[in-house]
Amino acid sequence: MENNILQIIYLLASVSFIIGLKMLSSPKTARQGNFLAAAGMGLAVIATIFLYQGHEGPLGNKIWIFLGIAIGSLLGTLSAKRVKMTAMPQMVSLFNGMGGACAAAISLIEFGHIDASSPTGMVFVVVAGLVIGSISFSGSIVAYAKLQEIMKSTKKLPAHNILTSGMLIGITGLTTWMTMGHIEPGTFYLLFGLSLAYGILFVIPIGGADMPVVISLLNSFTGVAAAFGGFLYDNQVMQTGGILVGSAGTLLTVLMCSAMNRSLTNVLFGAFGSGSSATAGAGGPKSEMNIKPTTASDVALIMHYAKKVIIVPGYGLAVAQAQHVIHEMETLLEANGVSVKYAIHPVAGRMPGHMNVLLAESNVAYDKLVEMEEINEEFAMADVVYVVGANDVVNPAARHDPSSPIFGMPILNVDKAKTVVVSKRSMAAGYAGIENELFGYPNCLMLFGDAKKTLTEVVSELKAL
């Protein structure tokens, strides 16, 4: 009886995940969708604790289970509530890593319950759960550390790709070997270590701009690891939840890649990492570019008398926490009859939609945020484009220079505007590690300094006008 009730609850929870995910894909219903999925999850968890019937009867150690859930809920809620909006991507990565570690931990314990007489399928899901969970865990932690700037460099070992390919072959080989019935603890722990190391080496060489893609990919990995747990316990809610995230996450990863006009293999194994940054480092800043620095008061003046201003926010805006000041600037300009819009590149910030979240936080109206395809036609009519903390997504080289690493990436055509103001801390290259020829264009003015500081100056100049 208990078991039948549990199965029905699992069914309801699975449906809540599917509908929740569907509702999450529209701005109007997103919040309820998230709540629905959370409710389904809560129900499934409570039902499991009280109704689950294993081979040895109901579950024991309930006190420890409740204590674990209490600690996890407290830590999870506190860290999720306290995290700054700008640090959101790495927070997601961290939580993802926790899920991966959880899957790996389950396999570590279940390994004690398998032996040579266990069914092949069971051995496989235990081993595969360990491998994928571990890769997802260590990879997510590295992604977190890189985004949090605890770990700064994008290191590549000599013959990195060969080394990681070799490890991958080793992991696949050992997994097959164990599945064939060779259940030795030594092999199992070797596989554990190898998977952890692979996760680290897999993420380390990937540049900051590509981190969202990696997080999304690791997210789908954890989904698959959860699904393996579902096969192990013949637990349908884990299966549907896991596979759902596995497939949705994979598609999301591909969508992010196509927004940058790059293939997934290109993101993971090549391009921006070694080649281009090496040339940028060796060549240094190009001296022939004619840079025109400007001041906050000049910028305030030209915007004050403009008809149409387009703001292009990038990750620099997020780092400087300047989203509130920029909204203040927008309000001042609008009060003066200037039309202000924000141009959002699909990969602006560190994740798709990152800029929308940030700007929404400072009460910028949703309809002022215009996506790339739409706004690109408007740049030619704009008097001033204010680029703040964005770089690679406005580099015209992507349109015409086949030798550029970002050639072919869709960009915001800011150079078509009458005047482009670029607010930037220095002439340093962006995440792709390449020069931006836009800065040398005749219609481009450089406003050097911290994004928030310069914006605050512009705002006070606007007030004085």
The catalytic residue positions are: 392
User: How far from 140 is each of 75, 92, 199, CA to CA, in Å?
Assistant: 18, 9, 8
SS3 content of the chain, % helix, strand, coil (to 5): 65, 10, 30
| Binding residues for other proteins restricted to 101-140, rule: CB under 8 A | 101-103, 105-106, 108-110, 112, 121
Cβ closer to other proteins: 17 or 315? 17
* Cβ proximity of 245 and 226 under 8 Å: yes
Q: How many residues bind other proteins (CB under 8 A)?
A: 114
Q: Which residue's CB is nearer to other proteins, number 181 or number 281? A: 181
Q: Does 278 bind other proteins (CB under 8 A)?
A: no
E strands within 280-416? 308-313, 339-344, 369-371, 384-388
30 touches 24 (CB < 8 A): yes
Task: Select the span of 142-150, 156-164, 269-277, 353-361 touching other proteins (CB under 8 A).
Answer: 353-361
Q: For other proteins, give the closer residue by CB, 303 or 347.
A: 347
Among 11, 12, 43, 98, binds other proteins (CB under 8 A): 98
Does residue 233 touch other proteins according to CB under 8 A?
yes
Of 141-149, 272-280, 352-360, 379-387, the segment contacting other proteins by CB under 8 A is 352-360
Given 219, 277, 423, 436, the residue binding other proteins (CB under 8 A): 219
Site string for other proteins, 357-396 (x = CB under 8 A): xx-xx-xxxx--x-x-------------------------
Reduce the DSSP state of residue 72 to 3 states and report it.
helix
Burial class (CB in 10 A: 0-12, 13-18, 19+), 401: middle
At residue 193's C-alpha, the angle toward residues 189 and 194, to 5°, is: 115
The smaller minimum CB distance to other proteins, of residues 109 and 464, is found at: 109
Q: Does 353 bind other proteins (CB under 8 A)?
A: yes
Stretch 133-152 residues interacting with other proteins (CB under 8 A)? none
In whole angstroms, the minimum distance from the beta carbon of 234 to other proteins comes to 8
At closest approach, how far in Å is the CB of 288 from other proteins?
A: 37
Determine the interface stretch with other proteins among 216-224, 387-395, 420-428, 449-457 (rule: CB under 8 A): 216-224
| 225: CB partners within 8 A, 6+ apart | 99, 100, 103, 104, 129, 132, 133, 136, 242
d(CA 279, CA 433): 9
Question: Of the candidates 148, 161, 236, 443, which one interacts with other proteins according to CB under 8 A?
Answer: 236
Q: Contact between 90 and other proteins (CB under 8 A)? A: no
Binding residue for other proteins (CB under 8 A) from 86, 134, 164, 222? 222
Q: Does 258 bind other proteins (CB under 8 A)?
A: no
Residue from 269, 274, 129, 138 nearest 200 by CA: 138
DSSP string, 170-187: HHHHHHHHHHTT---HHH
Does 241 bind other proteins (CB under 8 A)? Our answer is yes
Q: Six-digit token pair at 406?
A: 């970002």
Q: How far is the CB of 76 from other proteins (least distance, A)?
A: 3
Where in 170-189 is the site for other proteins (CB under 8 A)?
A: none
Range 1-60, binding other proteins (CB under 8 A): 13, 17-18, 20-22, 24-27, 30-31, 33-35, 37-38, 41, 44-45, 48-49, 52, 54, 56, 58-60
| Least distance between other proteins and beta carbon 278 (Å) | 31
Smallest gap from Cβ 429 to other proteins, in A, equals: 25
- Asked if 84 interacts with other proteins (CB under 8 A), we say no
The dihedral through the CA atoms of 272, 277, 278, 280 has a sign that is: positive
Contact 142, 200 (CB under 8 A): yes
CA distance 450 to 267: 30
**Spatial separation of the C-alpha atoms in residues 229 and 240, rounded to whole Å:** 11
Shortest distance (Å) from residue 366 CB to other proteins: 5
Nearer to other proteins, 85 or 301 (CB): 85
Select from 313, 343, 345, 309 the least CA-distant residue to 326: 313
Interaction between residue 334 and other proteins (CB under 8 A): no
**Which is closer to other proteins, CB of 280 or CB of 358?**
358
Q: Which distant-in-sequence residues (6+ apart) come within 8 Å of 238 by Cβ? A: 226, 227, 229, 230
99 binds other proteins (CB under 8 A): yes
Cα 115 to Cα 121: distance, rounded to the nearest angstrom: 12
- Per-position DSSP letters for 244-281, written without gaps between them: HHHHHHHHHHHHHHHHTT--HHHHHHSTIIIIIHHHHH
Which residue's CB is nearer to other proteins, number 247 or number 321?
A: 247
Contact 412, 378 (CB under 8 A): no
CB of 223 to other proteins, least distance (A): 4
